[in-house]
Amino acid sequence: MRVESICIVGGGSAGWMTAALLSHEHPDLEIALIESENIKPIGVGESTLQHFNRFLKRLGLKDEDWMPYCNATYKASIRFKNFRDGKGEIFQYPFGDMDREGDIDRTDTWMMRFFELQCIYGEEMYPPEEFAQFVNRQTYLADGGVMAREMPGILDREESNWDLDNDTSYHLNADKFGEYLRDNIAVPNGVHHIKGDVHNVIKTPEGYIKSVITLDGGCITADMFIDCTGFRSLLLESHMDVEFKPFNDMLFNDSALVTHIDYKDKETQMVPYTDCVALSNGWVYNIPMWNNIGTGYVYSSKYINDCEAELEFREYLNDQDCPLMPIKIKHGRHDVAWTKNVVAIGLSYGFLEPLESTGLMTTHENLILLSDALSQRHGKVTKHDRDVFNHLTEKIIESMKNFVAQHYTLSSRDDTQYWRDCTETVEYGGYIPGMNEASLVALNDYRNLLDSIEMKTWETENMGEGTIYITAGMGIKPISKAFFDEKRLDVEKEAVKDSHKAYQKDKEIMLDWVSKQLSHYEYLKEHIYV
């Protein structure tokens, strides 16, 4: 079919991100967006991953343009507390490339050195939580609560891997981000904004949607319809009958209580990382934006009821008097994101609990794939394009599902039934009937991870940096002291000791450098919120 007109059903961040990118990259398309006035935004804050930068760059957006409107701040890392033992331990997943050892362009060489140092000096000097700092100096930004455009070179290199424009992500008000894209890109590009509610759908004999009817009797006809209606999945699920596949067998959390709290001290509280703190039956996120801190308790109603969850959350908040908004989480994905002439973007396709800041991921990643598909042959799309799109969108969410599940299955917590079931009962292997190729690829990626962490050296090409940070932070090692003592030659042990001296020196340099940098708050005041 040829796509010359598009109707987007649903506004919010997903709808206006869709309208902005498609109108920007496909100016010849006729685009309309129908937005209900009866759906109120949540507006408690959103945390993003590095992938988000791709979307911003494709729109040509600069930080100083959009960040002030959206109360946005920078994010250099994700910090996890109480996920390993539940005793106050903290480890990080920093963004950006791992640093290399001198001119040895092998990540695993420098990475493995950390565990060799553990064998010689013990976990007292090299605890699991220091792994991220050892391989990625971006953790110094997070730990120090600072931000900077340049960072000192490492070891015998004059240049650092650090790149502010690519190695950070953002905290933002997602609803205001949608508004910004609406007013500054989509509507100026000619997107027709219709306020109303879809009442009915008219289909062709072949099952394609021909038009949608609004409550006031309006009729919008288009070649393609994009579902941005969130968990309702009004078009994909309700009218195209695409099956929803829950992830409840691997991810237990199905509820959340969300709110925002005021700052007491922006200098110390406006940290450049998302804070995730494990509690008895789930975890709490803290997202520091410019005007306030978005926070919420993500939990499983199977193990704790709503009243108990509220009491635990308010205790965490030190009983701050703030209104809590309950949200039900719909974990899972639909069988396909694109069927006939209907494409689901964002929550209408699938959702994962935001432990790894995946809330917007199914929006901007699937949207980029769609825009690229429309670009291939100037708006002409076929079953091949749909199949490729569906394969890739499924692999993205299935891989992220396995990654998020890793945060639970690798934990050693057993203090509540929730944590015992997370670590003991979830089945991560085995073929599921009806599983297609994309799901199998994602599952095999996770099996490769499990295979890799059992080896005497980690196969980094099978793991990805995110999985490495979480695995190491959980205290899992690729080598034992006995293996190290048995297999490592004396000359190599001396090389390890040299690495110890180099790292300790670099640590001194970085701590001194951090002490001289602007706080994250002051950096934003000077460069963004001027």
Active-site amino acid positions: 75
Instruction: Please state, in angstroms and rounded to a whole number, the distance separating the CA atoms of residues 442 and 454.
Output: 19
Note whether 281 and 303 are within 8 A (CB): yes
Work out the number of other CB atoms within 10 angstroms of the CB of residue 241. 10
Tally the C-alpha atoms within 13 A of residue 87's C-alpha that lie toward its C-beta: 7
Residues 6+ apart with CB under 8 A from 212: 7, 9, 34, 198, 200, 201, 202, 219, 220, 225
Say whether 34 sits in a helix, a strand or coil.
strand
Would you state the structure tokens that stand for residue 123, as one six-digit string?
């976990």
| DSSP result, 372-395 | HHHHHTTTB--HHHHHHHHHHHHH
For residue 24, the Cα-to-chain-centroid distance in whole angstroms is: 24
Instruction: Please state, in angstroms and rounded to a whole number, the distance separating the CA atoms of residues 111 and 115.
Output: 8
Instruction: Please state, in angstroms and rounded to a whole number, the distance separating the CA atoms of residues 319 and 353.
Output: 25
Note whether 280 and 304 are within 8 A (CB): yes
Note whether 71 and 230 are within 8 A (CB): no
Instruction: Please state, in angstroms and rounded to a whole number, the distance separating the CA atoms of residues 236 and 245.
Output: 13
Q: Which helix (H) or strand (E) element contains residue 347?
A: none
